[in-house]
C-alpha cells in the first residue's frame, strides 16, 4: 500500500487531521458546539466552491469562509435558542451558495463530490505541507491556551467567576475550530468532517474522567478511525469516509453502552 505515493501522502495528511480533530473535538463536545461544527463544515463547502470559482485553492476558500463565519458566530446572541436558529439559517444559506458557486464554475461534478465526501487520492504533497502547518498551528494555540480553555470549556460559569477572559477564549477556540474544519474536510469531506470533530470527543467522555485523558482517548479514536478507514478504502476501493464514520459511530455506541453498563454495576 505504501509503495503508492498518494497513499503515503494520504496517511501523513490523515494523521495530522486526526490529531487536530481529536484534540479540538474534546472541546467541541464540552462546549456543546457539535451543531456549530456541522454548520461550519457546510460553510466550508461553500468556501471551497468559492475558491474554485475565483481561482484560489479550495482549502484557502474554506479557511476564509469558516474563519469569518466562526468569528461572526462568536459575536452572535448568547441566548442559545436564538443562536441555534441563527446558525441553522446561516447553514441553509451557505449550502445554497456552495451549489451556486459550483454551478458557476467550470469544474466537473466529480470535483464537488470530492469536496463534499472527501477523497484520498486528491491530496498533493504541497497540500500535505499546508495541512501540516495548519495542524501544527492549531496544536500550538491549544498548548498556549490549554489551562484557561479547559476551565472555560468544562466549567464556563466557574471560569467567569474566577475572572477569566472567556470571550477572548471563545474567539480563539472558534478560530481553531474553523481551521480544523478546513483541515479535516480534505480527507473526510465537508459533509462528514463533523464526524471526526464530535464523535471521538463524545466517546471519550464515556470512558475517562480527566481533560488530558479525554484528549488522549479522543485523539486515539480519531487516529484509529482514519488509519483503518484509509487501509480499508485502499483494499476495497470503497469510500474512505464510509469506513471512518462507521468506525467512529460503532466506537461511540460501544462507549455509551460501557457507561450504561458501569452505571448499573
Show the site string, 8-47: x = touches another protein by CB under 8 A, - = not: ----------------------x-----------------
The stretches of 75-210 forming alpha helices (DSSP H) are: 80-104, 109-117, 125-154, 156-161, 166-188, 193-204
122 or 148: whose CB is closer to another protein?
A: 148
Interacting residues with another protein between 156 and 185 (CB under 8 A): 156-163
3-class secondary-structure state, position 127: helix
Regarding 5 and contact with another protein (CB under 8 A), the answer is no
Start-to-end CA span in the chain (Å): 45
Shortest separation between residue 124's beta carbon and another protein, angstroms? 38
Q: What are phi and psi of 123, to 5 degrees?
A: -100, 125
Tell me the three cell numbers of residue 144. Answer: 498556549
Shortest separation between residue 144's beta carbon and another protein, angstroms? 9
Picking from 185, 218, 235, the residue whose alpha carbon sits closest to that of residue 59 is: 185
CB of 39 closer than 8 Å to CB of 87: yes
Show the site string, 140-159: x = touches another protein by CB under 8 A, - = not: ------xx--xx--xxxxxx
Shortest separation between residue 218's beta carbon and another protein, angstroms? 11
Regarding 208 and contact with another protein (CB under 8 A), the answer is yes
The residue ranges that bind another protein (CB under 8 A) are 30, 146-147, 150-151, 154-163, 204-206, 208-211, 214, 259, 263
Amino acid at each position: 500500500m505504501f509503495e503508492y505515493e498518494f497513499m503515503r501522502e494520504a496517511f501523513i495528511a490523515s494523521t495530522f487531521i486526526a490529531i487536530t480533530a481529536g484534540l479540538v473535538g474534546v472541546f467541541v463536545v464540552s462546549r456543546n458546539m457539535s451543531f456549530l461544527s456541522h454548520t461550519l463544515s457546510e460553510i466550508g463547502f461553500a468556501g471551497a466552491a468559492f475558491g474554485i470559482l475565483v481561482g484560489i485553492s479550495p482549502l484557502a476558500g474554506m479557511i476564509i469562509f469558516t474563519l469569518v463565519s466562526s468569528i461572526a458566530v462568536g459575536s452572535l446572541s448568547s441566548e442559545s435558542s436564538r443562536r441555534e436558529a441563527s446558525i441553522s439559517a446561516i447553514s441553509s444559506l451557505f449550502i445554497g451558495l456552495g451549489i451556486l458557486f459550483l454551478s458557476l464554475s467550470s469544474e466537473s461534478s466529480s470535483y464537488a463530490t470530492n469536496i463534499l465526501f472527501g477523497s484520498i487520492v486528491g491530496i498533493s504533497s504541497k497540500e500535505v505541507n499546508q495541512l501540516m502547518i495548519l495542524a501544527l498551528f492549531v496544536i500550538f494555540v491549544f498548548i498556549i491556551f490549554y489551562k484557561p480553555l479547559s476551565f472555560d470549556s468544562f466549567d464556563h460559569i466557574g471560569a467567569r467567576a474566577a475572572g477569566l477572559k472567556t470571550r477572548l477564549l471563545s474567539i480563539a477556540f472558534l478560530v481553531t475550530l474553523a481551521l480544523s474544519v478546513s483541515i479535516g474536510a480534505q480527507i473526510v469531506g465537508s459533509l462528514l468532517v463533523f464526524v471526526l470533530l464530535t464523535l471521538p470527543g463524545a466517546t471519550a467522555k464515556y470512558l475517562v474522567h480527566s481533560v488530558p485523558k479525554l484528549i488522549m482517548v479522543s485523539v486515539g479514536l480519531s487516529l484509529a478511525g482514519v488509519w483503518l478507514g484509509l487501509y480499508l478504502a485502499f483494499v476495497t476501493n470503497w469510500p474512505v469516509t464510509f469506513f471512518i464514520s462507521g468506525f467512529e459511530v460503532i466506537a461511540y455506541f460501544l462507549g455509551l453502552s460501557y457507561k450504561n453498563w458501569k452505571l448499573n454495576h
